[in-house]
Amino acid sequence: MLILNNMGKEITSTGYQLPPLELLNEYAADGNVVSEEEIAGKIDAIKNTLGKGKVQVKDIKVVPGPAVTLYKVYPERKVTVSKVRSLMEDAALDLHWKGVRVVALDDSIGIEIANEHRALVPIRSVLSDDAFRNSEAELPVAIGQTFGNKAVVFDLAKAPHLFVAGVIKQGKTVAINAIVASLLYSKRPEELKFVFIDPKGCEFSAYGRLGGQYLASIPGENPIVQTTVQADKTLAALCEEMEVRYSHLSGCGIGNIVEYNKQASTRGGRWPYIVTIVDEYADLAIPAGRDKESRNMSHRITESIFRLAQKGRAVGIHVILSTQRPSKKVITDSIKATFPTRIAVRTVTGSDSRIIIGTSGAEKLLGSGDMILQTGVETIRLQGAYISLDEINRLISYMESHTVSCSPYYIPEPDLESGIG
């Protein structure tokens, strides 16, 4: 399979085998699933609580999950979700229930309650699920399990960009690592490149070992971007790469990367997808100082990300942003408009939750991978897939040891003096 970078240089990898699942930990079946006794007790408590508020229940159906169980309540008469929410949230304090969230469902009112014991969702179990293995997605992402222990898989190519937000140490980085692992298990080096922008310089440094195999970078620059100056330059370079690709599409009379790659043999080579991961976006979007250059740099960064989010999908460039500071200054209306797919981990307040996903509820999450995925058409509560640092290192070591004849994928050097890209 032939693939060219924008400089016309062959970057083909040959004979590369996707990594085996055996590299990942296989955990014994977790016996701490929600018990029938626990379910029966909570059903009785729900009926008693709602009954005190004069809400009579016709039926309750139960859908267990790895960390949280969904109790689907069917009232005798029509009742507002807000009334059920008020009754249940007050009762949750007395009952010592955690993670209680009340949501409107198509045919019922859903009450989500944390299990007394939480089950781990290993990344291996989600990647081995048929939902991922049989996925026809261009960029399949196995993010975790929801109620009924159903694997949640979405297509990053259709997302087409993702925002991950919530307080520190609640599962953002693990979620991003699960996304990276999903893509590494589904795409060969000639099909996919990453750009990692890591202002803290510690979250994604291990991926630097992927070098010429899976990373895209400016010639001569560190493939793992760790400074604001380098982030500014790299994002501008991605905008230039995007425009180069659009120019090729226009010249070929083709509308998107999928159609372009179908005709790769007659066009001179395939394009890889480029997934750009920006950690701690707030550190880049909000100027570090009051001087003009700091303000200009932050402005250029946000403008570059906005441009990539607006136009990147058609040419296979996708952006994942992460932040622990979900303020309106960071998650602006333009970000919301161009990032319809979002993940909220636990937030401090309902106001923070509304900034991320447009509604309260993320403040009720349990942490440690309990998250809400909003895809634009639906909102799903799930337990994120867990991948350890040891597993990440084994995965990277596999790729290092399986030699790939692959030249680096370079993105164009930008001219920041004359504007973005």
Any idea which residue has 């960390």 for tokens? 67
Neighbours of 255 (CB within 10 A): 11
In this model, does residue 193 exceed pLDDT 70? yes
* Average pLDDT of the residues in 176-198: 96
pLDDT for res 14: 56
* Average pLDDT of the residues in 56-69: 96
Percent of the chain with pLDDT over 70: 93
CA 177 – CA 387 distance, rounded (Å): 7
In this model, does residue 398 exceed pLDDT 60? yes
What is the model's pTM?
0.92
CATH architecture of the domain with range 120-418: 3-Layer(aba) Sandwich (3.40)
CATH 3.40.50.300 residue ranges for the chain = 120-418
* Average pLDDT of the residues in 44-59: 95
Query: pLDDT tens digits, residue range 268-302?
Result: 688 999 999 999 999 998 887 778 888 899 999 99
pLDDT for res 30: 60
Angle 372-376-381 from CA coordinates, rounded to 5°: 20
Query: pLDDT tens digits, residue range 236-245?
Result: 999 999 999 9
Query: pLDDT tens digits, residue range 292-335?
Result: 888 899 999 999 999 999 999 999 999 999 999 888 888 888 88
pLDDT for res 10: 40
* Beta bridge mates, 195: 276
pLDDT for res 2: 40
pLDDT for res 6: 42
Mean pLDDT lowest for which of 25-34, 74-83, 155-164? 25-34
pLDDT confidence band for 401 (50 / 70 / 90): confident
pLDDT for res 7: 36
In this model, does residue 15 exceed pLDDT 80? no
Amino acid occupying residue 284: L
* Beta bridge mates, 154: 141
Mean pLDDT estimate for the chain: 90
Query: pLDDT tens digits, residue range 347-395?
Result: 999 999 999 999 999 999 999 999 999 997 789 999 999 999 999 999 9
Instruction: Give the 3-state DSSP-derived string for the chain, with helices as H, strands as E and coil as C.
Output: CCEECCCCCECCCCCCCCCCHHHCCCCCCCCCCCCHHHHHHHHHHHHHHHHHCCCCEEEEEEECCCCEEEEEEEECCCCCHHHHHHHHHHHHHHHCCCCCEEEECCCCEEEEEECCCCCCCEHHHHHCCHHHHCCCCCCEEEEEEEHHHEEEEEECCCCCCEEEECCCCCCHHHHHHHHHHHHHCCCCHHHEEEEEECCCCCCCHHHHHHHHHHEEECCCCCCEECCHHHHHHHHHHHHHHHHHHHHHHHHHCCCCHHHHHHCHHHHCCECCEEEEEECCHHHHHCCCCCCHHHHHHHHHHHHHHHHHHHHCHHHCEEEEEEECCCCCCCCCHHHHHHCCEEEECCCCCHHHHHHHHCCCCHHHCCCCCEEEEECCCCEEEEEECECCHHHHHHHHHHHHHCCCCCCCEECCCCCHHHCCC
pLDDT confidence band for 343 (50 / 70 / 90): very high
* Average pLDDT of the residues in 62-89: 94
The CATH number for 36-114, chosen from 3.40.50.850, 3.40.50.300, 1.10.3720.10, 3.30.980.40, is 3.30.980.40
Any idea which residue has 């991605």 for tokens? 238
pLDDT for res 418: 54
CATH 3.30.980.40 residue ranges for the chain = 36-114
CA 288 – CA 228 distance, rounded (Å): 9
In this model, does residue 156 exceed pLDDT 80? yes
pLDDT confidence band for 32 (50 / 70 / 90): low
pLDDT for res 265: 66
Asked whether 383 and 372 are in contact (CB, 8 A), the reply is no
